[in-house]
Each structure stands twice: as structure tokens, then as C-alpha cells.
Structure 1
Amino acid sequence: MNQIKPPQKDAYSLILDAIDVGVFRPGDRLVESDLADRFGVSRTPIREALQRLETQSLLARDGRSLIVASLDHNQMAELYVVRTELEGLAARLAARHATEEEVQVLRDMVIEDRALLSDPAALARTNRRFHKQIHLTSHNRYLVQQLDLVYRSMALMATTSLAAQGRGANALEEHLAIVDAIARRDEDAAYAALRDHISAAFVTRLKQDSQGLAEE
């Protein structure tokens, strides 16, 4: 029996994924020839992918070069406003539609993430996975699509708020409060818990920026 091979990702998806996971960081210069060698594709699809990413404001011009874009203070604030409302809605819908199995998966994630408190980078990855699970648990495909766009822009932030002293432990407690509200089917509490969680993360990030803690 012939095995079905998974479809290969195109150049756009390959570059986008690399930005998403932090292989390419804000300010990094992207060169067609280097990307073609890295991903094993020709320069034409790479060029088309770079043009598409620039159109989407994920890349910016620095002279004749293209670099991974970064968010200024106003852009970050605007993004957090949208993220807060959309994530709150996802939590509300999750409280309405979550299965018992989905609630258990969310609870298990919080428990497992406690082992990562000393590793902010790993915790940031699992934090995103936790939020993605809430998005899926909303059972609303259009909301999931919009949140995917928001998180794509989140990748343009150079740091994670989870790197701040004590933020990781607090974030997990906030995650637990969100899961508890979803488990109780308390839509208002789930919405409020997730909004408060995002607000706390935003405050932490603002403090990081004001103290000049931009790293990486």
C-alpha cells in the first residue's frame, strides 16, 4: 500500500513558521539566496513569499533590505486591545461549548507547565499552546482564524512577558482560574478571567519596555 505523504509547505509558510517560532526575530535581515538555501527551494517562490509578508506588514524595508518587522508602543497597545476582546470571547464560548475532555486537557496543561517555571522560553511556547486550546474549545472557526492573525503579529514582539520575575507562576495561577471558570460553565467569569490574564501580561510587558529589559 502506498503511503500518503503530507503536503510540503510552501515558501511563505516556511518563512512564516520560522518567524513564528523565533528563528527569525524582529530586526533580522532576510536575504533571498540565504532563505532559498535554508529551505531548499528556488529564489522565485522565496521572492514572492517575501513580497506577501511585506504586504502583511510582517516584514519592513530597511534601505534595500527586508527585515522582520517590530511593533512600536502604539501598535503593541492596539494589538493588546484586540487580543483582549477576542480572547475573552473565546473563553466565554469555551465555557458554553467545552466538552469534559477538553476541560481536562486544559487542566492537564496547567499542571504540566509548572515544571517549566525556570525556563521562560519553554513556558512561552506552552503558554501559546494553552491559549490555542482555548481558541479551539470555543468551537468557532471564524474566531480561531482571527486569533491566529493576532498571534502572528504577537511574534513580532522581541520578548516574552513570562521572562519577568514571578510572572510565570502568576500566569499559571491565572490559567487555572480560567479553566475553573470554563469547567463551571460560568461564561462571565471565564471572560473576565481571561481578560484579566491578558491585562496582567500587558502591564508586565509595558514595565519591561520602560525598564529597558528588551532582550534577545
Structure 2
Amino acid sequence: MSHDRAATVQRGNYASAGDFAYAALRREIMEGRLTRGQRLREQELSSMLQVSRTPIREALSRLQAEGLLETLPRTGLAVADLDDAAVVELYETRVALEGTAANLAAHYANPRDISLLRALLVDEEAAPNDAPTLQLLNRAFHDALYAAAHNRFLLKSVAALHDAVTLLGPTTLADPARREQARAEHRRIVDAIERRDPVVAEAESRAHVRNAFPLRKAMRGR
């Protein structure tokens, strides 16, 4: 992690050095610059973020409590990885939650929600073939889908899910064929929501998640 990258999270925006360190390290994990299995050393992180080891230790403890870090034998603290069973469970959960979100959105999405989803489809079409950009746009689309469901309990359920998805590694949208397939799937989901067709919206959303799973397994080398 470079000083320039760390600087994108501004120290002055946080009440304490611990909060700053937590936000900076969490962003590095979320954006894939700290990768699964990578060891984290307090002294190195302290030097990179230019804070003492005490706030670094506090930040690492918080990230570990969230499941983003784990303690490995003979290695120490590292960015968490997911085993095969956990990946299967994660995708099963995504299928269920995203299907539910699309179903509810078809019932409750308002014109503003649908306009945002449509705008994101346009952004996806115009986006460069740059994996980080595509990942951010994809996250924005799915966040908008969940928001369009207008269900506070569903929104609470997806926070940990998003963190776990990040631990899977590079986005499947880096694959050109999957990228085009996903864009078409997104369009069909939004079309069904706009038609107020919850059955089709849910089916398309579930299929969207399932279709990414074989590529994810291949990318992990399983």
C-alpha cells in the first residue's frame, strides 16, 4: 500500500487515528489491493499510514471481528480467505437475498429507484474494460437493487455479504464473456422490475448470481 493510495482516505475526516487506520485498511481490502492470504505486519502498516502501532492494532482487531482478517498458523494475521464450502454457502446466500431483493423491488421500487437503475445500466455500457471500475459499477447496481426493495431488514443482511464477496478476489467481470452476459442479465432484471413482474425479476436475479458461480470456481483454481 503506497502513501498515495493511503492518502485517498483523509486523516482529517476521522475523529481518531484508529478510525482512520480502520477506514484506510478496510478500503485496501475492499478494493483488492490487500489480497486474500496476504500477511499484515503492524510495523509496515504503521509506516505506510504514518500512525503509531496502537491505532493499527485497534484497526486490525476491528477488521478481524468483521471476518475480513484471520490468524494463520506460522503466519500471523492475514487477509481472510474462504474455503470451498464457504464459497458455496456465500453464493447460495446471494441467490436467496438477491432474488428476494428483486422480487420486492418489483413491488416497491419508485420512479427514482428505476431511473437510478437505468442510469447505472448506461454507465455499465459506457465503462472501460477496467476491472476495478467494473467492480465498483457492479457494486453500485446491486446496492441500488437492494435499496429499491425498500426493506430495512434486507439492507442490514447484505452488509456482511458484501464484505465476504470482496474476499473472493478479482471480479468475474474481468472476463469479457461474463461481462457481456452480466450486462444483459442486469437489463432483464431492471426490465422486470419496471414491468412490476416480481416472479420474473426474482428468477432473473437468481440466475444472474448462479451464472457467475462456475467462472468464480475456475478463477479460484478449484
TM-score, normalised on structure 2? 0.85
In structure 1, which of residues 33, 57, 60 is the aligned counterpart of residue 70 of structure 2? 60
Q: Which residue of 1 aligns with 2:173?
A: 162
What displacement does 1:72 show?
A: 1.7
Tell me if structure 2 keeps the 8 A contact 1:87–1:147: no
Displacement of 1:161 in angstroms is 1.3
- Counterparts of 1:87 and 1:51 in 2: how far apart (Å)? 30
Report the residue type matching 1:125 in the other structure. Answer: L
Deviation of the 1:64 alpha carbon: 4.8
Cα distance in 1 for partners of 2:212, 2:128 equals: 16
Residues 139-171 of structure 1: per-residue CA shift (max 9 Å, x gap)? 122211211210101111122211224110110
Report whether the alignment pairs 1:192 with 2:203: yes
Give the alignment partner of residue 125 of structure 2, picking from 101, 114, 124: 114
Counterparts in 2 of 1:1-216, with a 5 A limit? 7-8=14-15, 10=19, 11-62=21-72, 63-116=74-127, 118-210=129-221
CA distance in 1, matches of 2:194, 2:13: 36
Looking at structure 1, the residues matched to 188 and 94 of structure 2 have their Cα atoms a distance apart, in angstroms, of: 19
Task: Give ranges in structure 2 of 5+ residues lacking alignment.
Answer: 1-11
Deviation for aligned residue 1:92: 1.2
Structure 2: distance between partners of 1:141 and 1:17: 24
Q: Contact 2:32–2:170 at 8 Å: present in 1 too? A: no
Deviation, structure 1 residue 95: 1.2
* Segment of structure 1 superposing worse, 100-109 or 166-175: 100-109
Q: Is the 8 A contact 2:102 2:201 kept in 1?
A: yes
SS of residue paired to 1:86: helix
Question: In the TM superposition, what is the alpha-carbon distance from 1:6 to its structure 2 partner?
Answer: 5.4
Give 4+ residue runs of structure 1 displaced > 6 Å after superposition: none
CA distance in 2, matches of 1:6, 1:209: 37
User: Which amino acid in 2 is paired with 1:83?
Assistant: R
Q: C-alpha displacement at 1:96, in angstroms?
A: 1.4
SS of residue in 1 equivalent to 2:169:
coil
Is the Cα contact below 8 Å between 1:117 and 1:169 reproduced in 2? no
Q: Bigger CA drift: 126-135 or 58-67?
A: 58-67
Work out the CA distance in 1 between the residues paired with 2:85 and 2:201. 28
Unaligned runs of 5+ in 1: none
Report the alpha carbon displacement of residue 17 of structure 1 after superposing the two structures with TM.
2.1
**SS of corresponding position for 1:66:** strand
Return the letter of the residue paired with 2:43: S
Q: Distance in 1 between matches of 2:55 and 2:63?
A: 12
Q: Name which of structure 1's ranges 77-86 and 35-44 shifts more when overlaid on structure 2.
A: 35-44
SS at match of 2:191: helix
Structure 1 residues 162-171 or 200-209, which shifts more? Answer: 200-209
Separation (CA, whole Å) in 1 of partners of 2:38 and 2:139: 23
Whole-angstrom CA distance in 2 between matches of 1:117 and 1:194: 24
Task: Name the TM-score, length of structure 1 as normaliser.
Answer: 0.87
What's the RMSD between the two structures over aligned residues? 2.0
SS of equivalent residue, structure 1 residue 29: coil
Name the CA distance, whole Å, in 2 between partners of 1:116 and 1:17. Answer: 22
Give the % identical residues: 38
> How many correspondences in the alignment?
207
